[in-house]
Structure 1
Amino acid sequence: MKFEHVILGLLSWRPFSGYDLGKHLEREGRFIRSKVHLSQIYRLLSRMVDSGWVCYEVQANDGRPDSKIYRLTEAGEQVLREWVASPYVPPSKFTDSEFLVRFRYGGPLDRSALLRLVRTELETRKAEVSLYRDRDRSVGPLQPIDGVDTDLAQRLGDLAHDHGSAAMDHWIDWLEHVLAELESEETARHPQGRQR
């Protein structure tokens, strides 16, 4: 996933100034991308204008500098739709923002892609639990430097695993809930198509 996809996704909702994009990402997009600087947003918007993905209009502001209000072009919409429809390959870390960006910004564009996304993520994480949950987590024979508490090293590893397991279980529960809700909506939208 590239930062361009986040910006294109936001611009698919409504026009934004660069400043407003920054404010939105600072507040609402904190789980998507951290530490976004306005200069980075403005450089990216400039490249996207050069690529023909976005255009802007200048908005006059009383007593303040004028603002550029950016909107998606047809070419930008096509780039966004192609990315939304492209295969999702779950990253090794389930906390990576790729899923959330596709879910939040791509989901409203393509319901079938949204369902594929959630199903792929859910299947991947369940497979990981099956593969890794009950593995041997002992740190094995160690040759520690002076002062390393090997019992504590094992205990800290177990605590980190417990935390990761609980977080993964919560993630899977959420994915199952979301999938059930989306499938129920899909059945309600197309009752004839879901009968067998």
Structure 2
Amino acid sequence: MRLEHVILGLLALRPLSGYDMRKWMDGPGKYIGYGVQLPQIYRVLPRLVANGWAEFAVDPRDGKPDAKVYRLTDAGRDELLAWARSPYEPSPRPMDPDFRLRFLFAGQLGPDVTVQILRTELDHRIAQVREPGWMDFTTVELDPVPEIDPEWARTIQLSAHEFGYSNTAAYIAWLQLTLAKAEVAAGRVLSDTPYRGPESAD
């Protein structure tokens, strides 16, 4: 996941300064698990302008340095749409920040994009849990140092594995639920019926 597309996704919502972007990552966006420092943002913004994907206006601030407020250009919108509709490759690790970023910044462009991302991620995770040996961690032979009791080590390994398994199971359930909601929304969009959320259902 490139920072360029994160910034384009943010600018698709409203004009922002680099400082505003950092505040979003530290605030509402922190649950995604993708944090960057302000200097990284400031290094990328000139590249977006040079590519024609963003433009800025200087916003005078009383008692503070003037701020550059960036907005998306038509070319930037085209780049964001091309990225959002490009093939999504799931990470080997479940619940990776790359998926959450793709889900948020590509998915916000519409239910059809969201459905494709979710289906790809869900199919990949289900295939993972069906792989032979995924639960067979106890078959590994142990020859521990004297300080480790093999039976207790097995107990700890089982607990750790159960933690990962339960998280993965919950993640797959979330993917299934969210995909079902996105498919309903996509169906309503295709039928030209506005989607107003579950509270509008009959």
| TM-score normalized with structure 1 length | 0.89
Opposite residue 19 of structure 2, the aligned amino acid is: Y
| Paired residues of 2:57 and 2:68 also in contact (CA < 8 A) | yes
Opposite residue 185 of structure 1, the aligned amino acid is: A
| Paired residues of 1:118 and 1:179 also in contact (CA < 8 A) | yes
- Aligned CA RMSD, in angstroms, stands at 1.9
Deviation at 1:145, TM superposition (A): 3.0
Tell me the equivalent position of 2:129: 129
Is 1:27 aligned to residue 27 of structure 2?
yes
2: distance between equivalents of 1:103 and 1:28? 15
| Paired residues of 2:112 and 2:186 also in contact (CA < 8 A) | no
SS at 1:138's partner residue? helix
Alignment of 1:96-107 (within 5 A): 96-107=96-107
Tell me the equivalent position of 1:157: 157
Give me the identity figure in percent.
Answer: 39
Deviation at 1:106, TM superposition (A): 0.9
Deviation at 1:94, TM superposition (A): 1.3
Bigger shift: 73-82 or 57-66? 73-82
2: distance between equivalents of 1:76 and 1:190? 26
Deviations 1:23-73, CA, capped at 9 Å, x for gaps: 001012213344421111111112222222211100111221111001112
Is 1:189 aligned to residue 182 of structure 2?
no
1: distance between equivalents of 2:53 and 2:33? 21
Deviation at 1:140, TM superposition (A): 2.6
Deviations 1:93-122, CA, capped at 9 Å, x for gaps: 112111111111111224322211111111
2: distance between equivalents of 1:166 and 1:131? 17
Deviations 1:143-180, CA, capped at 9 Å, x for gaps: 33332332232222211110111111111111111111
Change (3 A) 1:139 1:149: farther
| TM-score normalized with structure 2 length | 0.86
Tell me the equivalent position of 1:52: 52
For structure 2, the 5+ residue unaligned runs are 193-202
For structure 1, the 5+ residue unaligned runs are none
Is 1:73 aligned to residue 41 of structure 2?
no
Deviations 1:112-141, CA, capped at 9 Å, x for gaps: 222111111111111112225763211532
Tell me the equivalent position of 1:117: 117
SS at 1:131's partner residue? coil
Opposite residue 77 of structure 1, the aligned amino acid is: R
Tell me the equivalent position of 2:200: none
- Aligned pair count reads 192
SS at 2:30's partner residue? coil
2: distance between equivalents of 1:134 and 1:19? 44
2: distance between equivalents of 1:42 and 1:66? 15
